[in-house]
Amino acid sequence: MNIRTVGVVGAGQMGNGIAHVFAVAGYDVVLCDISEDQLARARATVEKNLARQVARERISGADRDAALARIRTTTDITRAGPTDLVIEAATERESVKQEIFATLAPHLGADTILTTNTSSISITRLATRTDRPERFMGFHFMNPVPVMQLVELIRGIATDQATYETLLGVVETLGKTAASAEDFPAFIVNRILMPMINEAVYTLYEGVGNVRSIDEALKLGANHPMGPLELADFIGLDTCLAIMNVLHDGLADTKYRPCPLLTKYVEAGWLGRKTKRGFYDYRGEVPVPTR
């Protein structure tokens, strides 16, 4: 299967990064979102990140201009349908993803491959809501997409070998590395990472340490580039909670029970950097711990 055009549905933190890396790699991209404002923010973010790459001499000015010219934005998601590859990168709610696939269904090309950037939801289950489960896969990029080198490829039970091999080739053209994962809750990275973050929140909840001491302990004691609570804020506490709920529901093991404090922060709307408050308060010049 020859992939030349890519539709990205969702222009948030992940979607704009996915559009960026595909455009730099030479693909024509249709970036879709329900919000014109979100599309404008996405294009501004892509321009800023491309400028950073030019400044660091990773791409040329001509490469930047060509990449920007390859990205078209629209609020009509059906325009993503006729592309060779669709990547759904909407919020981590299964009902939203199912609605997107249902909307796209009448507009898909005969050979279009459908993928989802979900970080935890069952690929097999999502595939059953489409007309092409054999050409449906999990295509999970890491955040921030232009920087992180890994892409998880997750086959559903019906995914055929040709689809897998096509996407494996696409990952290579992006200059990234693929890790193949089986279709079990949260796959590889988040199956390991989210329980660690959840345990850090329990450590805070139980008063073993405060925000700063927990993060410093992991950065200096385990050589992590970011502390677990700082990382949770970066990812989004709502996303962390959603993934922990998927793990808890899907594996029925109490070790995956989301920490009540994580739930409380999400209920408060303190979702991390994107809302300016989470385990840190980002409203000033320097982030300040909130506990």
Tell me which of 117, 120, 190, 198 is the catalytic residue.
190
CB 75 within 8 A of CB 35: yes
Establish whether 16 is a catalytic residue.
no
Tell me which of 16, 49, 88, 140 is the catalytic residue.
140
**Of the candidates 118, 291, 77, which has an alpha carbon nearest to the alpha carbon of residue 205?**
291
| Whole-Å CA distances, 91 to 94, 221, 242, 256, 272 | 8, 34, 10, 21, 15
Pairing mode of beta strands 288-289, 5-9: unpaired
Note the Cα 62 to chain centre separation in Å: 28
**Residue at token pair 């999990």:** 138
Tell me which of 119, 120, 122, 198 is the catalytic residue.
119
**Of the candidates 216, 198, 214, which has an alpha carbon nearest to the alpha carbon of residue 265?**
198
Establish whether 107 is a catalytic residue.
no
CB 196 within 8 A of CB 224: no
Crossing angle of helices 13-24/61-69, nearest 10°? 120
**Residue at token pair 């890396």:** 21
**Which residues, listed in sequence order, are joined to residue 139 by a DSSP beta bridge?**
153
Tell me which of 117, 152, 198, 230 is the catalytic residue.
152
**Which residues, listed in sequence order, are joined to residue 178 by a DSSP beta bridge?**
151
* Binding-site positions: 10-15, 33, 92, 97, 119, 143, 274
CB 167 within 8 A of CB 155: no
Query: CA 40 to CA 5: how far, in whole Å?
Result: 21
Establish whether 206 is a catalytic residue.
no
* Binding-site positions for NAD(+): 10-15, 33, 92, 97, 119, 143, 274
Establish whether 152 is a catalytic residue.
yes
| Radius of gyration (C-alpha) of the chain in whole angstroms | 19
Catalytic residues: 119, 140, 152, 190
